[in-house]
Amino acid sequence: MYSREHFVIGAAVSGLLLVPLSDRFSTPLLAVLFTYGVLLSVFVDLDHFVLTRFRTGDWHHLRACLADPPAAFGDQDWVFEDIDDMEHERILSHVLLGGLLVGGLAVLSPAVAVFTAVVLYFHVLADLLRDNGFA
């Protein structure tokens, strides 16, 4: 799924999650939490560059995106076009990283850990829907 789509999903999910948290956190903290959710939904995909590094032995995918950020976020079809069958590794990586992040946050703030888990759940769900031809 494209970053712009994850941005929209992350914004929608984060916004909805703020409703039950509005009695627990101040308005500035809710704004920070919303921003965190949107950024998390988009930037969790940076793990793809680590996966392609293991597959190819170099960082050329990351370097290409850093050389042209608007294209990297706007038209992403070219980014990993030479890498086949990475769907399972992508989802596995998201689940492993998400589990570690949620587990660590559970110690600091159970509410933020649940927020993080739900945002990541919808990110992974969107990826799975796209990978399986439903979106």
Question: Does residue 49 have a pLDDT over 80?
Answer: yes
Share above pLDDT 70 across residues of the chain, in percent, rounded to a whole number: 100
Contact 72, 79 (CB under 8 A): yes
Q: How far apart are CA 68 and CA 64, in angstroms?
A: 7
Compute the Cα dihedral for 19, 25, 27, 28 and give only its sign.
negative
Tokens for 58? 């170099």
Question: Does residue 81 have a pLDDT over 90?
Answer: no
Taking alpha carbons only, the member of 118, 134, 115, 116 closest to residue 126 is 134
DSSP state of 108: H
Residue 85's contacts (CB-CB under 8 Å, 6 or more residues apart) are none
Looking at residue 85, what is its pLDDT? 82
